[in-house]
Amino acid sequence: MPFVIHPWLLTLQEVLTEINIHALGAPPIRLRVSLHIGPLPDTGDEFGGNGTVRNDTHRLLDSRPVKAVLASSKENVTQVAAILSDRCYQDAVASGYTGRHPDHFIEVPATVEGRRFAQRAWIHVPLPSGPLHDARASGDAADKGLGAAGGPGGGERPHGSEGGRVSNRAPNGNINTGTVHGSQRVTVTSHRRDT
């Protein structure tokens, strides 16, 4: 799951940007992504895999916050908006196994119009633009209803950046290094604890 969150979501953003640049007048392809973790039953028939986790994943994808973020962003910049279940966020991000700092995620109440569904969730936009990006850059995150955690992007200098080289170390997992202009390397570390 950590690698699905990062770098896969960013890679998806980059691939869609490249496709949209060469689409020659076609409307851009933009995606909402939902991520969730949990068991699903294997019934061995066409209903295999149906269950609460799959249903919740679909509800997250159809929830108001992720739709609003993608709709309010610039279609020539932001191609991907992701929403993570709280379990996904806690297991992969908050516990330090992904190469993204928790400040790259915005806590939201995920609700779906016409459905009895409400869950704590987390928005992540690999390349923000529009109001989400503007609020971070101007420091108005709380005034725009983005919460104290703010959101991804903005004018922050990445942790460990020096002269265009960026290094982002997650406490329990990935180490992402690379340059601002390209080339990224992800290293997985394991920690051994003697007791």
C-alpha 176/C-alpha 159 separation (Å) is 11
| CB 151, CB 128: distance < 8 Å | yes
| CB 177, CB 185: distance < 8 Å | yes
The confidence score (pLDDT) of residue 17 equals 96
**Range with the poorest average pLDDT among 6-15, 78-87, 174-183:** 174-183
Q: Which among 155, 5, 154, 187 is positioned nearest to 88, based on CA atoms?
A: 5
For residue 135, pLDDT over 70 is answered with no
List, for residues 148-165, the tens digit of each pLDDT value.
333 333 333 334 434 444
The confidence score (pLDDT) of residue 152 equals 39
Q: Which of the two residues, 176 and 39, has the higher pLDDT score?
A: 39
C-alpha 65/C-alpha 164 separation (Å) is 33
Average pLDDT over residues 68-87: 96
Q: Which among 97, 81, 78, 79 is positioned nearest to 89, based on CA atoms?
A: 97
The confidence score (pLDDT) of residue 130 equals 82
Q: Which of the two residues, 9 and 187, has the higher pLDDT score?
A: 9
C-alpha 84/C-alpha 142 separation (Å) is 21
**Range with the poorest average pLDDT among 36-50, 103-117, 129-143, 145-159:** 145-159
For residue 134, pLDDT over 50 is answered with yes
